[in-house]
Amino acid sequence: AQSVTQLGSHVSVSEGALVLLRCNYSSSVPPYLFWYVQYPNQGLQLLLKYTSAATLVKGINGFEAEFKKSETSFHLTKPSAHMSDAAEYFCAVSEGGGNKLTFGTGTQLKVEL
């Protein structure tokens, strides 16, 4: 069975500061990993995905994530936070491509002036 743990339901950073959102996964097979962003009352937008290629994945809006098998982690980072980054972020895992996604509980990112 697959699962995702997102540490920190709320993260607050100053504008311009580093963003680090944590995600650890559990999977019985090599995983596909995803980060999504959700703005209020909207669907999910894909930020980036890991599909067994390069371990450092670059996504949209300056976000990137590194797959670390030894740590079963896929943390999301952005060097400099912007006010528009304030949203809910979900990490998700899929056991093999095309199979169902299991989502973490989400992290609400707040960006302060």
Partner 1 sequence: GAVVSQHPSRVICKSGTSVKIECRSLDFQATTMFWYRQFPKQSLMLMATSNEGSKATYEQGVEKDKFLINHASLTLSTLTVTSAHPEDSSFYICSARALLDYEQYFGPGTRLTVT
Q: Choose between 70 and 100: whose C-beta lies nearer to partner 1.
A: 100
Q: Choose between 28 and 70: whose C-beta lies nearer to partner 1.
A: 28
Binding site for partner 1 (CB under 8 A): 32, 36, 41-46, 49, 51, 90, 94, 96-98, 100-106, 108
> Helices (H) and strands (E) in the chain — how many of each?
0, 12
| Among the listed residues 93, 92, 91, the one whose alpha carbon sits nearest the alpha carbon of residue 107 | 91
Least distance in angstroms from the C-beta of 86 to partner 1: 15
Least distance in angstroms from the C-beta of 23 to partner 1: 12
How far, in Å, CA of 102 to CA of 67, rounded? 17
How far, in Å, CA of 16 to CA of 3, rounded? 32
| Number of residues that this document lists for the chain | 113
Q: Choose between 42 and 84: whose C-beta lies nearer to partner 1.
A: 42
